[in-house]
Amino acid sequence: MTADGTDAFLAAHRRISDSFHDGTLTERELADWHAERLTAVLRHVTARSPFYRRHLAGVDVEAVTPATLTALPFTTKDDLRREMYDVLSGPLSDARIYYETNGTTGAATPCPRGARDIAASNTAVEQSWRHLLRTRFGDRKPVVGLMGPSELYAFGDVFTDVAATLDLCHVKIWPESPRVGFKKALRLIEELGVEVVVCAPALCLSLAKAALHHGYDPAALPVKLFLVLGEICTPQFAANVSTVWPQAVVRPALYGSQEALCIASGADSGALHLSSPNYLAELVDPDTGAPLGPYGTGELVLTMLVDGIKPLIRYRTGDLVRLTPAPPGSALPGPVVEVVGRAGDRIPLGDGLLWPAELEAAVLTDVRGCLGYQVVVDSAPDGGDRVTVRMDLLPGTARPDRVAAAVTARLRERTGAHSTVVVDTDIDPVTHTGSFVSWKAARVLDRRFGPDGAARTARQVAHRYAITT
């Protein structure tokens, strides 16, 4: 037994998690767990975090319940950037491993993880993978290829640990690494028989584009399952990927962040399910912060229930999500989380204001063989907006003119803006940056205004994602 009670916590968490996933955990038992863990975490942060000692000064933490949580102040990204290590609940030496955010839209903030954080978060991913791989491969164990963003990101360690727990062979093939690159990544996929690729959604298309460039046929490569994370992935995007990779399907691996860990994990239905043993989730109005209730659409606010090295209280994620109860018979428990986009990524077009998921749906609905796209927005001479969609389509795509007509009709219907589609095999390499910065920075070139910080960062790193070298 560890002196700090970690073994006891992990044993209790495993019992709750197992019951949660096998369907035997009652609503009352989950509510009791939430109340118990909320009190434990509030005690923990007010005793050990310099920031929360000040931020929650005067709060009777023993009296706070999940029902009264909204009386506490939010924790924001600006708080994390300003306070840095003072947000931690303990010295850095208490952590097991150090990560940080990528710093593309502000100062990189520390995101260390301790034994409790890692085990509790990875449990949800482990349960998700058991379901996904059993559904797709039965009792057979596939080889897994991991394509992560950087060594200071948790991606590689999380999926390495889960693969080890499930006794799966995995290989780290990161195409943007100068020691790997797309050519070697493709060779390894073919030679090793990699059937599962874990990556950002944009990489599904970049990998296909690179395969064609280097003389491979995506249909002949062994990949059968893309597990994606890190940015929005609409059903329309997933359906298009399956036309580029005819043997493969796209499923969500998880939705999470460096700061908040694994918030939701994926099912073969394509749904993401909240990791309810680890979080209290709220929805608030992204503009006012007003509470919106447990279900519906709004900005996701999280309170973490693991008293590890950096639990966050009422953390405003900046993500717009739709929360709905899990349908009867769902493969995974927990409310369904549909990620709509970042609160700052709403895009004014014509007479509409579109979320990223809405814009992607307008572009990709019923589209086949698209290797990449970019939405370019200019000011029209009449004062309105002019939208140009640049699309890279597979050679031999049936009637590109019909594809273009359908896309322009959908955009005109949703925005009223004048729209055109240009088929372009030499698409802007910034579209391959995907989740490294933001979906909007990768997919939308808005020339009505000067580039913001995210757009400038995406442009600076685009060369790392070149598929031809």
pLDDT tens-place string over residues 219-231:
999 999 999 998 8
Q: For residue 206, is pLDDT > 70? A: yes
Contact (CB, 8 A) for 345 and 438: yes
Computed on alpha carbons and rounded to an integer, the radius of gyration of the chain in Å comes to 22
Best-predicted range by mean pLDDT (180-194, 387-401, 418-432): 180-194
Whose tokens are 């273009």? That residue is: 404
Greater pLDDT, 408 or 248: 248
Lowest-pLDDT choice from 288-292, 310-314, 409-413: 409-413
Q: Which of 18-27, 291-300, 404-413 has the lowest mean pLDDT?
A: 404-413
Tell me the angle at which helices 6-22 and 115-137 cross, rounded to the nearest 10 degrees. Answer: 30
Structure tokens, 87 = 């947000």
Angstrom distance (rounded) from CA 273 to CA 114: 24
The Cα 433–Cα 190 span in angstroms is 24
Phi, psi of 263 (to 5 degrees): -80, -40
**421 exposure class (CB count in 10 Å sphere: 0-12, 13-18, 19+):** buried
**pLDDT tens for residues 109-158?**
999 999 999 999 999 999 999 999 999 999 999 999 998 766 567 888 99
Average pLDDT, the chain: 89
Locate tokens 């209290």: which residue? 280
- In order of start, what are the domains of the chain with their CATH numbers? 1-342 (3.40.50.12780), 346-465 (3.30.300.30)
**End-to-end CA distance of the chain, in Å?**
52
Rounded CA-CA distance 405/276 in Å is: 44
At residue 435, the pLDDT reads: 55
* Cα(224)–Cα(202) distance, integer angstroms: 17
Q: Are 195 and 219 in contact (CB under 8 A)?
A: no
CB 318 within 8 A of CB 343: yes
Is residue 248 within 8 Å of residue 239, measured between CB atoms? no
Structural contact between residues 145 and 155, judged by C-beta atoms closer than 8 angstroms: no
For 5-23, how does the pLDDT look when each residue is reduced to its tens digit (9 = 90+)? 899 999 999 999 999 999 9
**pLDDT confidence of residue 152:** 60
CA 374-380-385 angle, to 5 degrees, is 55
Reported as a single tens digit per residue, the pLDDT across 69-124 is 999 999 999 999 999 999 999 999 999 999 988 766 667 899 999 999 999 999 99
Q: How many residues does the structure list for the chain?
A: 469
Q: Model confidence at 214, in pLDDT bands (50, 70, 90)?
A: very high
Taking the C-alpha atoms of residue 430 and residue 110, their distance in angstroms, rounded to an integer, is 27
Question: What is the band of 467 on the pLDDT scale with cuts at 50, 70, 90?
Answer: low
Cβ atoms of 178 and 435 closer than 8 Å: no
Residue 53 or 179, more confident: 53
Residue 308's pLDDT is: 96
pLDDT at 385: 84
80 phi and psi, to 5 degrees? Answer: -65, -40
**pLDDT score, position 463:** 55
DSSP secondary structure code for residue 162 in this structure: H
Mean per-residue pLDDT for 325-353? 87
Q: What is the C-alpha separation between 175 and 183, in angstroms, rounded? A: 8
pLDDT level of residue 460 (50, 70, 90 thresholds): low
Coil, strand or helix at 148: coil
Element (H, E) at 196: strand 194-199
Output the pLDDT for position 1: 37
Q: Mean of the pLDDT values across residues 250-266?
A: 94
DSSP code for 325 = P
pLDDT at 196: 97
Q: What is the mean pLDDT of residues 40-60?
A: 97
Which of 376 and 300 is assigned the larger pLDDT? 300
**Token pair listed for 217:** 């046929």
**What tokens appear for 117 in the block?**
């954080």
Provide the percentage of residues in the chain whose pLDDT is more than 90: 63
Closest CA to 421 of 433, 406, 404: 404
Rounded to whole angstroms, how far apart are CA atoms 97 and 118?
A: 9
